[in-house]
Amino acid sequence: MKLSIVTAVYNRADTIGQAIESVQSQIGVEIEHVIKDGGSTDGTIQEVESRIAGTDTVFISAPDTGIYDALNQGVENSSGDIIGLMHSDDFFANNHVLAKVAKQFDNPEIQGVYGDLDYVSAFDTNKIVRRWRSGPFERKKLTQGWMPPHPTLFVRRDVFETWGAYDTSYRISADYDAILRWLWDGQIRLSYIPEVMVKMRVGGESNRSLGRILQKSREDYRALKKNGVGGAGVLFAKNVSKIRQFLP
């Protein structure tokens, strides 16, 4: 079994190195790393090239229309049986994460695997800011605003082929739209690993300004309506559920 890990990056010279090292440090599983750069100008390209020599890494640097277009291109250029992500600001919690993911996929009925996530300070990655504890999946939870942490979600290639990739008409919430499509319409079977799999630096695209937060809410609402999962009530529950992530 091969896992393809897709990274979309643009001008992240200060963090992309740790993301790459995090993938390269995984043991016990065959990995292909696909990195799609959007034409960085800050030294990201040089940073990537200095770290991937002699590795099973596919590196593409070319213009794209945004993160979801880049992720779609990365998936299209991957060859693994399982597809997961490693965002350019993130890193795996330990070097056994992907081996545990692969073990879950030994069950041929499992189509997706996910776990928990910690948000960490951008200035001190040892400082945890938020704790996202997912819990086991039930389809009805989607109508209560539940979703798995996208950076921890791994799916079989045929999920993309059958239920579609990221809809690039969304600028921020294409991941939420895809997850709703896969889990609500596709009813794919998930397996939950009850431990932190990924560390994510705070300050990402969806929450770096009030304007982006409002845009995300509008896009989340559109995704809910489009996929027939609900509307304003579900969106409210989704946002309220985040409060407990800040609690000790």
**pLDDT tens column, 177-211:** 999 999 999 999 999 999 999 999 997 555 556 78
Q: Which residues contact 34 (CB under 8 A, 6 or more apart)?
A: 4, 5, 6, 7, 57, 58, 60, 74, 75, 77, 78
Indicate the pLDDT class of residue 35, thresholds 50, 70 and 90. very high
Q: How far apart are CA 46 and CA 2, in angstroms?
A: 27
- From the list 93, 122, 148, 126, the residue with the least C-alpha distance to 208 is 122
Give percent of the chain with pLDDT exceeding 90. Answer: 93
Token couple for 143: 């109508």
Kind of pairing, strands 57-61 and 30-37?
parallel
What is the predicted pLDDT for the residue at 210?
79
Q: Look at the alpha carbons of 15, 127, 199, 130 in this order and tell me if their dihedral is positive or negative.
A: negative
- pTM reported for the whole predicted model: 0.94
Helix (H) or strand (E) holding 2: strand 2-9
Domains of the chain listed by start with CATH number:
2-246 (3.90.550.10)
Write the pLDDT tens digit of every residue in 116-136: 999 999 999 999 999 999 999
Q: Please, what's the b/e burial string for 100-138 (b: 16 or more CB within 10 A of its CB; e: otherwise)?
A: bbbbbbeeeebbbbbbbbbbbebeebeeebeebebeebe
- From the list 239, 224, 141, 111, the residue with the least C-alpha distance to 176 is 224
**Phi, psi of 31, deg, nearest 5:** -125, 140
More confident residue, 208 or 114: 114
Token couple for 63: 């213009």
Alpha-helix runs per DSSP H in 96-156: 97-104
What is the predicted pLDDT for the residue at 56?
84
- From the list 101, 93, 94, 96, the residue with the least C-alpha distance to 117 is 93
User: Is residue 220 within 8 Å of 150, Cβ to Cβ?
Assistant: no
Average pLDDT (12-37) is: 97
Average pLDDT (135-152) is: 97
Across the chain, what does the average pLDDT equal? 95
Indicate the pLDDT class of residue 212, thresholds 50, 70 and 90. confident
3-state secondary structure of 50: helix
Write the pLDDT tens digit of every residue in 67-110: 999 999 999 999 999 999 999 999 999 999 999 999 999 999 99
What is the predicted pLDDT for the residue at 209?
66
What is the predicted pLDDT for the residue at 207?
56
Indicate the pLDDT class of residue 45, thresholds 50, 70 and 90. very high
